[in-house]
Structure 1
Amino acid sequence: MRRGPFRAGAFTSPLHDPLHRPRTAVVLGRWLGAALLVCFLTGLTSHLLQDPPGRLAPHLPARPVNGYRVTQGLHVISGLAAIPLTGAKLWTVYPRLFEWPPARSVLHALERLAVAVLVAAVLLELFTGLLNTLQWYPWPFPFRQTHFWLGWLATGGLLVHLAVKAPLVAANWWRRAAPALAQRRAFLVATTAAAGAVTLVTAGQTVPWLRSLDLLAPRRPDLGPQGLPVNRTAAQAGTVTVPADWRLRVDGPRPYELTLAELGGLPQHEAELPIACVEGWSCGARWTGVRLAELVRRAGAPPGSAVRVTSLEAEGPYRVTEMPAPYVDDPLSLLALRVNGEVLAADHGFPARVIVPNRPGVLQTKWVERIEVIV
């Protein structure tokens, strides 16, 4: 028996009428498609900068300085804006999800299966991405790898869906394709307002001129030790107490060690660089320290050398990171000892941390104890 949403006439809104639904779905699809495309492309950028293929690593650019700040900010902004757009899109088309009979042919069954995969991938992608901005991971699988492959799955499903629906999209692309409807106009205005509001109250974590409206974002970029947020504290990393005999070891053709005092006695340079994190927040600061290139040259390494950086923290996925040569050779790349004129706080990496342009925050290693040249 056909009951509930399966019964005839279960959907009474004029927006669900077959005469009006396609036009509403196409308008929402344009907005949602644009948000998902931006989210996908910027997500690929983030993934490549965090975990580049071996052949690509030597060619990663250290400029523009704010490149990662912009792309990852756009990634999170577009992902958050896609949440209300996805809800509105699903509400518009959900009568089609309860079609009866469920499958009229093999091709129809395959089309519905593709839609199911698309919807599931998009919802899971947005859900896990949202919780990542809160640094909450209540699932047993690795977030970053799962998020990456879900992005490809959702994008592939979207392309298949567009190919199937191309004639319907073309027929309803222009405003004159469907009769005017006051309810549709009100619904689209409300959806636009919802997506705009979500953007305005969260984008301030990366867009400076929206900072005063940063009401719902998990981070305020100006709150934290020394005016900078912190994702991983010294207590969490087990580096609250730095050994009294701490020395920086630089390994290369001519390895050497430096005490903190000796490191501070080397030529100091300043750089205005942002910390830009995968969760979408970013904040600029004035860093002071020794150029990485100068430390590496002193160890006898030629220009074009990559390095491996090791942290004092006992464990963690980014305790050891590799830095390609373009970052090492950039004059703005520092082993920083101070931030905004103050000695680094423990949470910001005392006694020394890496800070380089156009690089994800998780790779800006704190509590550095060793720099190893890898040619």
Structure 2
Amino acid sequence: MRSSPFLDFPRFSGRLHDARTATVLGRLLGVAVVVCFGTGLISHCLQQPPGWLTNTLPSRPVWGYRLTQGLHVASGIAAVPLLLAKLWTVYPRLFARPVVRSLRHGLERASVAVLVAAALFQLFSGMLNTAQWYPWPFAFVPVHFAVAQLLLGALLLHLAVKWPQIRAHWGRKSEGTLTLPAAEGPDRRSLLTAVTAAVGAVTLTTVGQSFTPLKRFDLLAPRHPDHGPQGLPVNRTAARAGVSAAELRDWRLTVAGPEPYRLTLAELRAMPQYEVELPIACVEGWSKSAHWSGVRILDLLDRAGARTGARVRVVSLEQHGAYRVMEMGRTHARDPLTLLALCLNGEVLSADHGYPARIIAPNRPGVLQTKWVSRVEAR
């Protein structure tokens, strides 16, 4: 009795659904994942440092966060075509029967399911974050960080289980590659060339948002480094932050410490002013250097009688948001480049850039460069 054609499982005869191709693509994908995870860990520690690390986070090099976060977003975007190519190579195994041959095989398939699900979630949720679109009910940052750890664990488990097959197909002259048909060499090279071209294309058309020499190719990135008030992009406007004109009109800066005081904007401008050139770099991947001028945070702290080792708490006029209150460790607070900025590129700050005063500090995520500062506390 013949079986129904509707019950037959697909049969794959393509030459590139093989272990050698999967290994080559896996190597490239692994590099992208490791770079993305490592730079993401740096970003998380700078954004939400554990208490014991707050006072020791470095403020130099000034471009440190700009580099690591640019690499984080670029490697994440580059990993998308690599992951899709890798999944295309191995997807016929979804149709292998029996589904589970043993307990070990069942655990292996379950770990692969976790690995694939975590990788897809990380890459595509990260891309949505670059566009600041959050179609989910949970907070992005803690969930993204937690799933990154899950992804790393699943990847290490997968490598441990598959290491014999990976080693057998690692090099061109490896044992597992000697019996492959000769025609697969040119076909594989064509596939890898196409994947490399795709990675190059998505990188070239997005990396300009942080690597400004390539900004003229910035076609697919959600931000262009030159687009925005005063020549600098803005993520959160004054209107969106709920900062009203009345609050700005009656603004006073409160500096809390052993000798607290308050300052008007005119009194702030009468203090010694310093100019620095620092990049502002956001977690979404864009960054750009600009000229800032204002009062050094260390001068404000010294006037308040703050101790040298004091940490700083900065409060914004912003009505809501996860970063309306910001903590700054001793290293950043005492760095002479850290300013309460009053001007940007020679002009008074616009409302969307934090008028009347905002924080600008070296080697810090943009979300911690607090705008519309109303209070500085030495703790």
TM-score range, shorter chain: over 0.9
The Cα offsets for residues 56-89 of structure 1, whole Å up to 9 and x where unpaired, read as 1111111110111000000000000000000000
Matched, 1:112 2:109: yes
Task: Give yes or no for contact 1:6–1:100 (8 Å, CA) kept in 2.
Answer: no
2:173 match: secondary structure: helix
Work out the CA distance in 1 between the residues paired with 2:344 and 2:133.
Answer: 28
**Counterpart residue number, 2:315:** 310
Matched, 1:192 2:196: yes
Matched, 1:369 2:370: no
**Counterpart residue number, 1:33:** 30
AA aligned opposite 1:53: P
Matched, 1:219 2:223: yes
Task: Give yes or no for contact 1:274–1:282 (8 Å, CA) kept in 2.
Answer: yes
**Counterpart residue number, 1:7:** 9
1:62 match: secondary structure: coil
Matched, 1:283 2:288: yes
Task: Give yes or no for contact 1:252–1:299 (8 Å, CA) kept in 2.
Answer: yes
Q: How far apart are 1:176 and its partner, in Å?
A: 2.5
- How do 1:213-292 and structure 2 match up within 5 A? 213-241=217-245, 242-292=247-297
Normalised by the size of structure 1, how large is the TM-score? 0.96
Q: How far apart are 1:3 and its partner, in Å?
A: 6.4
Work out the CA distance in 1 between the residues paired with 2:248 and 2:42.
Answer: 38
Q: How far apart are 1:239 and its partner, in Å?
A: 1.6
**Counterpart residue number, 2:62:** 65
Matched, 1:344 2:349: yes
Work out the CA distance in 2 between the residues paired with 1:347 and 1:95.
Answer: 52
Q: How far apart are 1:2 and its partner, in Å?
A: 8.6
1:56 match: secondary structure: helix
2:51 match: secondary structure: coil
Moved over 2 A (4+): 1-6, 176-180, 242-245
Task: Give yes or no for contact 2:9–2:95 (8 Å, CA) kept in 1.
Answer: no
Percent identity over the alignment is: 62
- How do 1:352-363 and structure 2 match up within 5 A? 352-363=357-368
RMSD: 1.3
Normalised by the size of structure 2, how large is the TM-score? 0.95
2:60 match: secondary structure: coil
- Which of the residues 169, 177, 188 maps onto 2:166? 169
- Which of the residues 74, 77, 83 maps onto 1:77? 74
- How do 1:94-173 and structure 2 match up within 5 A? 94-173=91-170
Matched, 1:205 2:209: yes
- How do 1:327-342 and structure 2 match up within 5 A? 327-342=332-347
Q: CA distance change for structure 1 residues 251 and 208 in 2, over 3 Å: closer, same or farther?
A: same
Q: How far apart are 1:22 and its partner, in Å?
A: 0.8
2:341 match: secondary structure: strand
1:57 match: secondary structure: helix
1:15 match: secondary structure: coil
Work out the CA distance in 2 between the residues paired with 1:317 and 1:269.
Answer: 30
Gapped runs of 5+ residues in structure 2?
A: none
Task: Give yes or no for contact 2:111–2:157 (8 Å, CA) kept in 1.
Answer: yes
Work out the CA distance in 1 between the residues paired with 2:292 and 2:189.
Answer: 51
Work out the CA distance in 1 between the residues paired with 2:362 and 2:231.
Answer: 19
Task: Give yes or no for contact 1:293–1:328 (8 Å, CA) kept in 2.
Answer: yes
Work out the CA distance in 2 between the residues paired with 1:124 and 1:313.
Answer: 31
Q: How far apart are 1:156 and its partner, in Å?
A: 0.7
AA aligned opposite 2:325: V
The Cα offsets for residues 316-335 of structure 1, whole Å up to 9 and x where unpaired, read as 11111111110000000000
Work out the CA distance in 1 between the residues paired with 2:37 and 2:345.
Answer: 35
The Cα offsets for residues 179-214 of structure 1, whole Å up to 9 and x where unpaired, read as 442221111110010011110000000001111110
1:249 match: secondary structure: strand
The Cα offsets for residues 86-121 of structure 1, whole Å up to 9 and x where unpaired, read as 000000011112210000001100000000000000
Work out the CA distance in 2 between the residues paired with 1:265 and 1:141.
Answer: 45
The Cα offsets for residues 1-31 of structure 1, whole Å up to 9 and x where unpaired, read as 796796252x131212xxxx11100100000
1:55 match: secondary structure: helix
Task: Give yes or no for contact 2:10–2:95 (8 Å, CA) kept in 1.
Answer: no
1:175 match: secondary structure: coil
Q: How far apart are 1:244 and its partner, in Å?
A: 2.5
